Amino acid sequence: MKKKNAWRWWAKSLGEKASKCDKESDKIALIRTFIFATYLITNCFIVAGVIRHWNDKTVVNVEVKMDNPTPPMVKTRLNRTGEFE
């Protein structure tokens, strides 16, 4: 497969020809290739992050020790409507 033929196939795979002029169409195909490459790289980073954190089961236990715990100052109860009194 020739290099020029491969480029034509790639340019056609990016979408319809942008112009009647081949040089202008090639420039637009390069811009489309750049946009495609940035999407591909971004997607690879997203997938890598998902795989990296796939099975993270980090458990954080916090224990607070108090010498003289004090009871709460105000006792609250719910009334029948579910609102605080």
Domain boundaries defined on the chain = 3-52
Mean pLDDT of the chain: 81
pTM of the shown model = 0.56
Kindly state the average pLDDT of the residues 29-41. Answer: 93
Q: Please state, in angstroms and rounded to a whole number, the distance separating the CA atoms of residues 23 and 17.
A: 11
Other Cβ atoms within 10 Å of 58 Cβ, number: 5
Kindly state the average pLDDT of the residues 69-81. Answer: 64
pLDDT digit string, tens, across residues 39-74:
999 999 999 999 988 887 777 788 888 787 776 666
